Amino acid sequence: MGAASGFDAPLVSGFAPNLALTDTGIHRPKIVECLGADGRRHKQLVKGRDDVRQDAVMEQVFEAVNALLDRDGARLVAGRARIRTYAIVPLSPQAGVLEWVDHTIPFGAYLTDRSGSGAGAHSRYHPSDLSHQECRAKLTNAKDGKGSAKKADEARRRKRRAFDDICAKFRPAFRFFFVEHFADARDWLDRRGAYTRSVAANAMVGHVLGIGDRHAQNILVDTRSGEQVHIDFGVAFDQGKALTAPETVPFRLTRDVVDGMGCHGTHGAFTLAAEATMKTLRRHAGEIVTILDVLIHDPLYRWMVSPKDARHRQRHDDADDGDDASRPGGGESNAGDANDDAERALFKVKQKLQGYEDAGHDVLSVEGQVKNLVADATDPENLCVLFPGWAPWL
């Protein structure tokens, strides 16, 4: 096909003869190279046996939120909060093509050493600390209590002791990402600020949409801008609470995530960006809900995680990244039940956008809402009971 006439984007002229498989994921998505009429090669990720329609809707919401942030002038002294997006084209309920996000590295891949080569930041900067695998084993061995409430309480105390011991022997190391990638002092400061604001924006939007499964391989970091790029939105609208090991935090704000923000941590730039983002979300609640409302009329979309999906997502306790390609979408469901589930999901979104976090509680101010969410996300009592594949110590 020739060059595009009247279009900004180039047309496809062909595909490279070979493809590669990703390192993670049960269904191992394929990496293909598309040959453009502009003479360039464009990487794309092809997913099969995986419903990416929910991911596509999330990207639309992110684009809308970015536009709203720009419109409201939600600007800070050092810049503005935004969410990094990428293109997704669903081809069917079980297949889709995704834009390959260049110049990024998974958060977990930078920090941890999965091959035993000592390449992870924790191994390089804190060689005497526990390894990532040892941390996982410690938390996994603090078994769940089955049966009585007393046994459940005892199990939770065991997990808390194990988690505290891990934290004492596994020091954060993400600060070194910025030292390694941005040698110039001004670049270092700018990129760290961009990272902090992107963490805040993703956290607030992710909470409102109930996005879960934020394990360390589902968050990328741009090696040029420092920003976070979130991927894989198969668990959304608080479906993470239905997983075998229910998710107890609103977003990922672990010690290593905070370590990259500098000495102020979650105070200062992070709080300002989080509050600016939440103010925009609450001010434009109607527009956001309208975008999400489109999914209600999709008869093939299943809004809730089935017990089988929940078991599959967290069944691979030995997987380093906690990844599982089993997703809640892609199956047909009764139209009436589907609409009921959709209405319940949207109702939760509306509640959050009004400042309600818990049923029966008062409406929170933006500042109070952000403060409570940060407290929940960093509470060791919530982190210690998470699925070990989520790696709450990172």
∠ CA 30-13-10, nearest 5°, is 95
Alpha carbon distance 300, 334 (integer Å): 9
pLDDT in tens, 334-368: 556 666 777 888 899 999 999 998 766 789 999 99
At residue 306, the pLDDT reads: 57
Alpha carbon distance 66, 202 (integer Å): 11
Q: For residue 1, name the pLDDT band (cuts at 50, 70, 90).
A: very low
Greater model confidence, 199 or 117: 199
pLDDT in tens, 175-222: 999 999 999 999 999 999 999 999 999 999 999 999 999 999 999 999
> Is residue 5 predicted with pLDDT exceeding 60?
no
At residue 165, the pLDDT reads: 98
> Is residue 77 predicted with pLDDT exceeding 50?
no
At residue 362, the pLDDT reads: 87
Question: Could you tell me the two tokens for 2?
Answer: 């020739």
pTM of the model: 0.89
Greater model confidence, 53 or 309: 53
Mean pLDDT, the chain, as a whole number?
86
Alpha carbon distance 220, 86 (integer Å): 12
Cβ-in-10-Å burial (0-12, 13-18, 19+) of 24 comes to buried
Q: For residue 23, name the pLDDT band (cuts at 50, 70, 90).
A: confident
Given a contact cutoff of 8 angstroms between Cβ atoms, the answer to whether 200 and 270 are in contact is yes
In this structure, how many other beta carbons lie within 10 angstroms of the beta carbon of residue 367?
13
Give all strands (DSSP E) within 83-162, no chain letters.
Answer: 88-92, 95-99, 104-106
Among residues 264, 262, 201, the alpha carbon closest in space to that of 228 is found at 201
Q: For residue 123, name the pLDDT band (cuts at 50, 70, 90).
A: very high
Q: Give the H or E element holding residue 188.
A: helix 185-208
Average pLDDT over residues 73-102: 83
At residue 232, the pLDDT reads: 92
Share of the chain above pLDDT 70, in %: 81
Average pLDDT over residues 127-139: 96
Alpha carbon distance 245, 150 (integer Å): 18
At residue 45, the pLDDT reads: 94
Domain extent listing, the chain: 102-390
pLDDT in tens, 221-264: 999 999 999 999 989 999 999 888 899 999 999 999 999 999 99
CB-based contacts of 321, cutoff 8 Å, min separation 6:
24, 106, 108, 114, 215, 216, 217, 389
Alpha carbon distance 261, 268 (integer Å): 10
Angular region, 31: left φ>0, alpha ψ -120 to 50, beta rest = beta
At residue 301, the pLDDT reads: 60
Alpha carbon of 79 to those of 45, 97, 172, 192, 356: distances in Å?
A: 31, 32, 26, 11, 29
The distance from CA 15 to its chain's CA centroid, rounded to whole angstroms, is 30
Given a contact cutoff of 8 angstroms between Cβ atoms, the answer to whether 30 and 37 are in contact is no
Question: Could you tell me the two tokens for 58?
Answer: 């999330």
Q: Domain 102-390, CATH 1.10.3210.10 — does that match? A: no
Greater model confidence, 38 or 80: 38
At residue 312, the pLDDT reads: 60
Alpha carbon of 308 to those of 189, 228, 284, 319: distances in Å?
A: 46, 31, 36, 19
At residue 322, the pLDDT reads: 47
Listed range (6-10, 254-258, 315-319) with the worst mean pLDDT: 315-319
At residue 279, the pLDDT reads: 94
94-98, 112-116, 248-252: range with highest mean pLDDT? 248-252
Amino acid at 306: S
> Is residue 330 predicted with pLDDT exceeding 80?
no
> Is residue 106 predicted with pLDDT exceeding 90?
yes
Average pLDDT over residues 79-94: 89
Q: Concatenate the DSSP letters of all residues of 289-323 into one string.
A: HHHHHGGGG-TT---S--HHHHHHHT--TT-TT--
24-38, 65-79, 146-160, 369-383: range with highest mean pLDDT? 369-383
